[in-house]
């Protein structure tokens, strides 16, 4: 499915930084990559040396730049200790993904896309990418099962669990609460429900008589 260029969730996810290495260096990229002490030209731009490592927003890896850099470190959001917390008993219900990464699963999807691009057709390089994908899929399944389905049964305005959710999870949570509230209004209220007309009720009484 093609992602919308102006999708705010996709943009925020790709704003998160990844550490990359410049395989061949880069010309006039700027001090935000090379650092404030870099030797600059008259326009204030600096050259990035070969094999230099630096954190850059994930969206920087679009286009031509992607040919000269590769992700050299797994982002901290996908460290083993985060997955260990999610795997613990009721871990998904107590792990605060909002503070770990505001767009956790969106960032995960975009990072995996970039890692797969870096690996290309190299089967050995793809092994850790496949392993990370499995960990993220398991984390998403646990969050869905232990947390997000709870939104169907909760209607309160203030809920501790909601404060643990990432941006995309809160959208699902809110949709679930709205659906639950709509059901409650239908279940316990008469508005919008099918009600028999007086003629039908009179006909039933006549048959009983």
pLDDT in tens, 82-134: 999 999 988 888 899 989 998 999 999 999 999 998 888 889 989 999 999 99
Per-residue confidence (pLDDT) for residue 133, from 0 to 100: 95
Would 5 be classed as within a structural domain?
A: no
Q: Which of 47, 2, 50 is nearest to 24 (CA)?
A: 50
Domain count, the chain: 2
Q: Is the pLDDT of residue 42 over 60?
A: no
Report the alpha-carbon distance of residue 203 to residue 106 in Å, rounded. Answer: 59
The mean pLDDT value for 187-208 works out to 66
- For residues 87 and 142, the answer to whether their CB atoms sit within 8 Å is yes
Instruction: Report the percentage of the chain scoring pLDDT > 70.
Output: 71
Measure the CA–CA gap between 31 and 36, rounded to whole angstroms.
5
Starting at the edge strand found earlier in the chain, the sheet holding 53-57 runs 53-57, 17-22, 69-71
- Give the span between the Cα atoms of 141 and 147, in whole angstroms: 10
Q: For residues 90 and 175, state if they share a domain.
A: yes
Q: Tokens 């239908």 label which residue? A: 186
Do both 179 and 115 map to the same domain? yes
Q: Same domain for 95 and 175?
A: yes
> Do 190 and 200 have their domain in common?
yes
For residues 82 and 131, what is the distance between their CA atoms, to the nearest angstrom? 15
Same domain, 55 and 94: no
Q: Is the pTM of this model over 0.85?
A: no
Which residue range is the domain that position 117 belongs to? 76-209
- Strand runs (DSSP E) across the chain, as ranges? 17-22, 53-57, 69-71
Yes or no: say if 27 and 47 are a contact pair by the CB < 8 Å rule: yes
Mean pLDDT for the chain overall: 79
Structure confidence at residue 152 as a pLDDT band (50, 70, 90): low
Q: What CA–CA distance (Å, rounded) separates 56 from 117? A: 17
Distance CA 45, CA 27 (A): 8
Mean pLDDT of 154-178: 77
């Amino acid at each position: 499915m093609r992602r919308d260029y102006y999708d705010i969730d996709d943009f925020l996810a790709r704003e998160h930084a990844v550490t990359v290495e410049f395989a061949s260096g880069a010309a006039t990229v700027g001090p935000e990559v090379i650092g404030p002490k870099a030797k600059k030209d008259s326009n204030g731009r600096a050259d990035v040396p070969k094999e230099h490592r630096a954190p850059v927003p994930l969206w920087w890896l679009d286009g031509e730049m992607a040919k000269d850099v590769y992700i050299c470190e797994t982002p901290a959001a996908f460290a083993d200790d985060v997955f260990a917390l999610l795997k613990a008993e009721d871990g998904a219900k107590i792990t605060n993904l909002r503070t770990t990464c505001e767009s956790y699963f969106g960032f995960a999807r975009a990072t995996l896309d970039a890692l797969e691009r870096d690996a290309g057709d190299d089967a050995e390089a793809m092994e850790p990418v496949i392993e990370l994908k499995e960990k993220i899929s398991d984390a998403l399944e646990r969050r869905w099962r232990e947390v997000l389905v709870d939104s169907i049964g909760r209607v309160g305005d203030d809920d501790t669990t909601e404060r643990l959710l990432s941006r995309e999870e809160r959208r699902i949570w809110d949709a679930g609460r709205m659906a639950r509230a709509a059901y409650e209004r239908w279940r316990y209220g008469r508005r919008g429900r099918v009600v028999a007309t007086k003629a039908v009720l009179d006909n039933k009484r006549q048959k009983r008589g």
